[in-house]
Amino acid sequence: MRALSEAGLRVPADVAVIGFDDILVSRFTAPALSTVVQPKEDLAAQTVRLLLERIADPALPPRSITLQTRFLSRESD
């Protein structure tokens, strides 16, 4: 967002900026950064569960799990 400002562009009037992972600093930028939020705790829990299943049975086929994200609108979109 600093580079956009230095180029004479305004967020969000000229350019919408969206972050990912809702890092702490995104709340304190000016304007506050809209972001995609991952369910980090659920991601960790599912990863551990799949790893333990694989350790118990190495012949298991690869699996894919899709977790829901959410969009947190602040001021930058």
Q: Which two tokens stand for residue 10?
A: 């305004």
CA distance 28 to 19: 13
CA distance 14 to 27: 20
pLDDT digits (tens, 9 = 90+) for 37-61: 999 999 999 999 999 999 999 999 9
pLDDT digits (tens, 9 = 90+) for 10-42: 999 999 999 998 888 888 888 999 999 999 999
Q: What angle (nearest 5°) sits at the alpha carbon of residue 14, between those of residues 19 and 8?
A: 100
Q: Which sequence spans correspond to the domains of the chain?
A: 2-72
- pLDDT score, position 54: 95
Q: If we measure between CA atoms, which residue out of 23, 21, 5, 15 comes closest to residue 75?
A: 15
